[in-house]
Structure 1
Amino acid sequence: MFTELKEFLLKLQNFDDISTERKAVLQPLVDYIQQKINDNQAINLNFICTHNSRRSHLSQVWAKVASSFYEIKNLQCYSGGTEETVLFPKVVETLTNQGLHIFKIAERDNPIYAIKFDENSLPIIGFSKRYYHVFNPISKFAAIMTCSQADDGCPFIAGAEKRIPITYEDPKISDNKPEQNEIYQQRSIEIATEMMYVFSKIKS
């Protein structure tokens, strides 16, 4: 793992700031991952929000990074939306500032990014897509709903073994405002901290 990224993650290991209520929200994801490990099965997590532009990507990236940090094997993370838009550039900028190495590998209206957390590991592929896109698993996955709109608007996710709502406030509220950088950084840290907490509870 890149040194700057690892140093960033080490600062997030004080989980006392996560409330008891929030830990209860995260517990079904802990239980799902742990059961898969106990059963020696592959773990597929699909993080879903409306536009697959901000929160679902942040969640996908930090879940994969946290699983690598805690050496959880046989796990893949995906993301999708109820709509296809674009991976918002401020998300790319925020993750880069927090230690990830991100490269645009396809230039188009909906660019495709390689998101690397380690020199030798396969990159996370980031681009906006619907949650049922062919890039994503079609069965035997957990659907983690990262926004209330997608959770309310998609009462059924085909192929999902488990549906887990873990919602976050949209950093989009700060777009074109002076506090934008701070809000995106805070939301990314919040999600990273919670994903670190989840994987810290896993016994492999």
Structure 2
Amino acid sequence: MYPTLLDTIEQLQWKQFANDERQAVLQTLVDFVQRELTAGQQVNLNFICTHNSRRSHLAQVWAQTAASYFKIPNVSSYSGGTEETALFPKIAETLTVQGFQIFKIADSNNPIYAIKSSDNALPIIGFSKKYDSAYNPSTKFAAIMTCSQADSGCPFIAGAEKRIPLTFEDPKISDGTLEQGQIYSQRSLEIAIEMFYVFSRIKL
């Protein structure tokens, strides 16, 4: 992994993660990943939010990175929304500062980004899409709801084996303020800690 990304990871406090309420929710995700791996299955995780612009992308990127860091095989992370918009540019900027290499590979109203954790890593392809896009798995996946609006507004996710409400506060609340950079960084690291907590508990 890139040195700056490793520095960011080393500062994460997943080993001291002590929020009992969140641990209970995260254990549901741990159990899903462990069950699929133990059964020799591909682990498909689809992180879903309303616009697929902020939190769902952060969760997708950090989940895939955590799986790679702990050398957990057969994990594929995806993201989607209840509607298609665009990956918010501040997300790409935040992840770049935290150590990822990000390249815009198509420019439009809904740009497509390649997000890499190391020179030889398969890039995560980041762009906004609906959760049931053909790009995402249609069956045998966990639907992880990263915002309450998507969780309440989307009561049924076709094809999902498991639905897990794992909601985070929207960093959008800081847009246009002097605190925007700090809030986006904090939210990214908060999500990273929880994804690293999950994958640190997987037994091979």
Q: TM-score range by the shorter chain?
A: over 0.9
SS at match of 1:40: coil
Please give the alpha-carbon distance, in whole angstroms, between the structure 2 residues aligned to 1:14 and 1:123.
24
Please give the alpha-carbon distance, in whole angstroms, between the structure 1 residues aligned to 2:14 and 2:153.
34
Q: Which amino acid aligns with 1:141?
A: F
Q: Give the deviation of 1:15 after TM superposition.
A: 3.3
Q: Give the deviation of 1:178 after TM superposition.
A: 0.8
Please give the alpha-carbon distance, in whole angstroms, between the structure 2 residues aligned to 1:90 and 1:8.
18
Partner of 2:159: 159
Please give the alpha-carbon distance, in whole angstroms, between the structure 2 residues aligned to 1:7 and 1:178.
25
SS at match of 2:202: coil
Partner of 2:126: 126
Q: Give the deviation of 1:182 after TM superposition.
A: 0.5
SS at match of 1:77: strand
Runs of 4 or more consecutive aligned structure 1 residues displaced over 2 Å after TM superposition: 13-18
Contact 1:50 1:149 in 2 (8 A): yes
Partner of 1:55: 55
Partner of 2:45: 45
Q: Which amino acid aligns with 2:66?
A: A
Identity of aligned residues (%): 64
- Counting only pairs closer than 5 Å after superposition, residues 96-175 of structure 1 correspond to structure 2 as 96-175=96-175
Please give the alpha-carbon distance, in whole angstroms, between the structure 1 residues aligned to 2:60 and 2:198.
13
Q: Which amino acid aligns with 1:114?
A: A
Unaligned runs of 5+ residues in structure 1 are: none
What are the superposed Cα offsets for residues 2-53 of structure 1, whole Å, 9 maximum, x if unpaired?
A: 1211121121144324411111111100000000111111000000000000
Unaligned runs of 5+ residues in structure 2 are: none
Aligned length: 204
Please give the alpha-carbon distance, in whole angstroms, between the structure 1 residues aligned to 2:39 and 2:88.
37
Please give the alpha-carbon distance, in whole angstroms, between the structure 1 residues aligned to 2:17 and 2:34.
23
Partner of 1:94: 94
SS at match of 2:113: strand
Please give the alpha-carbon distance, in whole angstroms, between the structure 2 residues aligned to 1:192 and 1:108.
28
SS at match of 2:83: coil
Partner of 2:16: 16
Partner of 1:29: 29
43-52 or 13-22, which deviates more: 13-22
Q: Which amino acid aligns with 1:68?
A: S
Contact 2:14 2:196 in 1 (8 A): no
Cα distance change on mapping 1:156 and 1:72 into 2, 3 Å: same
Contact 1:13 1:196 in 2 (8 A): no
RMSD: 0.8
Q: Which amino acid aligns with 2:41?
A: Q
SS at match of 1:188: helix
Q: Which amino acid aligns with 2:40?
A: N
Please give the alpha-carbon distance, in whole angstroms, between the structure 2 residues aligned to 1:10 and 1:155.
37
Q: Give the deviation of 1:105 after TM superposition.
A: 0.0
Please give the alpha-carbon distance, in whole angstroms, between the structure 1 residues aligned to 2:188 and 2:18.
15
